[in-house]
Homo-oligomer: A and B are copies of this chain.
Amino acid sequence: MGSLLIKNVLLDGKTTDILIEDHRFKSLSAPAGTAADEVIDAAGMAIFPPFYNTHTHAAMSLLRGYADDMPLMKWLQDYIWPYENKMTRSDIMEGSRLAVREMIKSGTVFFSDMYFDIEETISVVQEYGMRAAVGVTFVGSHSKSQQTEKLDMLHHWVDPSGGLITLTVAPHAIYTVGPDLLVKCAATARELGLKLHIHLSETRSEVDDCVREHGMTPVRYLDFLGFLGPDVIAAHVVHVDEEEASILARRGVTISHCPCSNLKLASGIFPYRMLHEAGCRITLGTDGDSSNNNLDMREEMKFAALVAKMDSGDPEVMPAGEALDMATRCGAEAFGIDAGVIAEGKLADALLVRLDDERMQPCHSLVSNWVYAAGSSCIDTVICNGKVLMRNREL
């Protein structure tokens, strides 16, 4: 791996040269005359950490716009599931490619995925050089032999990318996976040192059904099963009470907040202030293209911040810097990726953002402009693990 020099870039209000070597930020103030294998002149651009999307279904980009503006169960039963039943491996390849291209062009270098086939997604991620945590998905309707096959895959998988791709153990949800399989998933993840990825408390009916069936709410149920821990990524977490918030905080669970999907399906409003005040680790996800309908984490930050202010009735809730932190550093940390901030020694993941774009002007606050005003067209360059994935908006 060679070296990359980013010249004349704006960082913390100053123009500087940044040297990347061996995948990491070697110096944030490289002296004049520093040589490197590749040089980018970033005059007129600022450097930002890129996005880490903690919950999506990449291949579902093929279903973008296929079914909108309808209730969740009608959407799933009459449209999404019948479509998915006809999807081939080549469809999954095509959908994953569309999603990966869309993500890089909107500044995302990592995503945590959950889908029913994974080889195609992994191959596209590797081809484009981004990071991913790809979920091996478990649902109760799988046969014993399918489950065994998935467990085998988890035990024997070797990362083809040299550190950019991991697997996660992904039981779909408490309403599609029984308690025994949930416990087995947790045990497997802990044995192999992998993360667990699950949908949790997304809708009111999920909560009501869980109380009826198990006599307790979903978070309490998963805690009762010993499932919850710092290795769990729980997507949505819309319908929880204060005690559940404190359970999630105590267990160190990572929440993947997906505001657009929750709003679009009218699932409910994420109780940001309560979960934040309880001390939960909150990250940001887009969910799939089929319920969002894009994978644009910049747009997702704005939705998260504005809806949190509205819901709490307090415009001071989730200031711009907090939204940015959630979409960058917190996501990277949750998956143990030593990146997500622009700092010496960290893995070199970064965006170069054009400051001459009208939306980035004037520059009273770079962070506010980036979170509230920018569009993905402001992103000039995307760097992942020291490698340039996009330059001048060309992949």
A interface residues (Cβ-Cβ under 8 A, vs B):
61-66, 68-72, 75, 98, 101-102, 105-106, 260, 262-266, 268-269, 289, 292-294, 296, 299, 302-303, 305-307, 309-310, 312-320, 358-359, 361-366, 368-369, 372-377, 393
Contact = CB atoms under 8 A, between A and B. Distances in A.
A246 to B, nearest CB: 26
A296 B102 contact: no
A372 B65 contact: yes
Contacts of A312: 266
A315 B264 CA distance: 6
Given A303-B303, A377-B375, A364 B310 contact: no
Contacts of A361: 61, 64, 98
A327 to B, nearest CB: 16
Contacts of A260: 302, 306
B372 A309 contact: no
Q: How many copies of this kind of chain does the complex include?
A: 2
Greatest chain B CB density within 10 A among A359, A368, A393 is at A359
Contact of A309 (B266, B299, B358): B266
Given A62-B362, A375-B376, A377-B376, A266 B315 contact: yes
A289 to B, nearest CB: 7
A71 B319 CA distance: 12
Contacts of A303: 303, 306
Given A65-B364, A65-B372, A372-B294, A263 B98 contact: no
Contacts of A62: 362
A320 B68 contact: yes
Contact of A372 (B68, B70, B372): B68
Contact of A359 (B66, B70, B294, B314): B294
Greatest chain B CB density within 10 A among A98, A296, A373 is at A373
A304 to B, nearest CB: 11
A375 B373 contact: no
Contact of A319 (B69, B299, B306, B309): B69
Greatest chain B CB density within 10 A among A71, A106, A289 is at A289
A144 B62 CA distance: 63
Contact of A65 (B71, B294, B365): B365
Nearest to A97: B358
A373 B315 contact: no
A84 B265 CA distance: 41
15 contacts: A65-B364, A65-B373, A68-B319, A68-B368, A69-B316, A69-B318, A69-B319, A69-B320, A72-B315, A260-B306, A264-B306, A264-B315, A299-B302, A307-B310, A375-B376
Contacts of A263: 306-307, 309-310
Nearest to A260: B306
A368 B101 contact: no
Contacts of A292: 372-373
Contact of A315 (B70, B315, B358): B70
Contacts of A69: 309, 315-316, 318-320
